[in-house]
Structure 1
Amino acid sequence: MRLLVACLGNICRSPTAEGLIRHRLEATSLADRVTVDSAGTGDWHVGQPPDRRSIACATGHGIDLSGLRARQIGPSDFHEFDWLLCADSANLRDVRKLAPKGASAQSALLLEWAGLDQREVPDPYTGDAHQFERVWALLERAADGVVARLARELGDGR
């Protein structure tokens, strides 16, 4: 299974989700059966590391995001991934507009796909460290939901 998490610039929400999901998968037998990546719908931050506040928040929780680099979603992503999981409705709309003819990937809201009641991950970019922590807590629940869904669909992940 190949998952791509998408947000606007690929420096806050999607790299945080990528790091969390990978971390959660490492504790399961699914780690070698699931690939996780992230990308943005925009190109403003291509090649840059995650936002320093995302890195600091993740580091405080024992996860290193500093090696990740932002990239923009491209046509090949719609064939290389099974699911493009979007942080919010605007990104989902944009991802669907970017999909080339014959795309095999499906797209959905990350939180809904993970089984959470909340639909959207708020963008912490213009906020402070507290907003990054709130997003972290939400994405922790989403990562747990992703692993639980994958365990159901692919077999026991524990």
Structure 2
Amino acid sequence: MPEPVRVLFVCMGNICRSPTAHAIFLKRIEEAGLEDRIVVDSCGTGGWHIGDPPDPRATEAGARRGYDLSPLRARLLRPGDLDAFDYVLVMDQDNLVRSSDLNPGGRTRPELFLAYAPDSPVDEVPDPYYGDGFERVLDLIESACDGLLDHIREHRL
């Protein structure tokens, strides 16, 4: 059996957007029966929350839609991640720059996650940390997860 496709979601602190994407995409691949073909992880470009669980507001919003963020813990993006993962998907331009600068020669070039949501009216997943946009973030991430899974099925599996 070929090596699994490895997907990494990246945001700033790894407590709101990237763990939400992690949990949603994990559920999508489980529903598709592809747990042995796709590996998912998430991380942040800033180290303020290393080892912490996702923000309770993200956990609660996700749970209302059937996603379990509770087992996830924040970790920092490492230079080797750009070689270890096939997809490094970032939530916004700032984290795109931070991720790209970390290992400019890495095998995988980070890209904006919402590129996989072709009908999205925005290019970036907004950071809900200082506001109440968790439902909007879920909508955007669900759409991009669906597009990403379709892309991986078509091009990698």
TM-score by length of 2: 0.91
How far apart are the structure 1 equivalents of 2:119 and 2:92? 13
Correspondence for 1:108 among 91, 106, 111: 111
How far apart are the structure 1 equivalents of 2:50 and 2:155? 33
> 1:106 Cα deviation (Å)?
2.2
How far apart are the structure 2 equivalents of 1:10 and 1:72? 8
Structure-1 residue corresponding to 2:53: 49
CA contact (8 A) 2:100 2:109 kept: no
Superposed CA deviations along residues 72-129 of structure 1, whole A, max 9, x for unmatched, are: 001221221112100001100110011154x21221000104444431000000012x
CA contact (8 A) 1:45 1:71 kept: yes
How far apart are the structure 2 equivalents of 1:29 and 1:115? 24
How far apart are the structure 1 equivalents of 2:139 and 2:79? 31
Residue 14 in structure 1 maps to residue 14 in structure 2: no
> 1:6 Cα deviation (Å)?
0.3
Q: How high is the sequence identity, in percent, across the aligned residues?
A: 45
How far apart are the structure 1 equivalents of 2:52 and 2:18? 13
> 1:133 Cα deviation (Å)?
0.7
Superposed CA deviations along residues 40-64 of structure 1, whole A, max 9, x for unmatched, are: 0000000000000000011111111
| Stretches of structure 2 lacking an aligned partner (at least 5 in a row) | none
SS at match of 1:6: strand
Correspondence for 1:134 among 136, 147, 150: 136
Q: CA RMSD in A?
A: 1.3
How far apart are the structure 1 equivalents of 2:84 and 2:45? 16
CA gap of 1:105–1:38, structure 2 versus 1, over 3 A, is same
4+ aligned runs moved over 3 Å, structure 1: 113-117
| Stretches of structure 1 lacking an aligned partner (at least 5 in a row) | none
CA gap of 1:116–1:82, structure 2 versus 1, over 3 A, is farther
Partner amino acid, structure 2, of 1:151: R
> 1:137 Cα deviation (Å)?
1.0
> 1:33 Cα deviation (Å)?
0.8
CA contact (8 A) 1:17 1:143 kept: yes
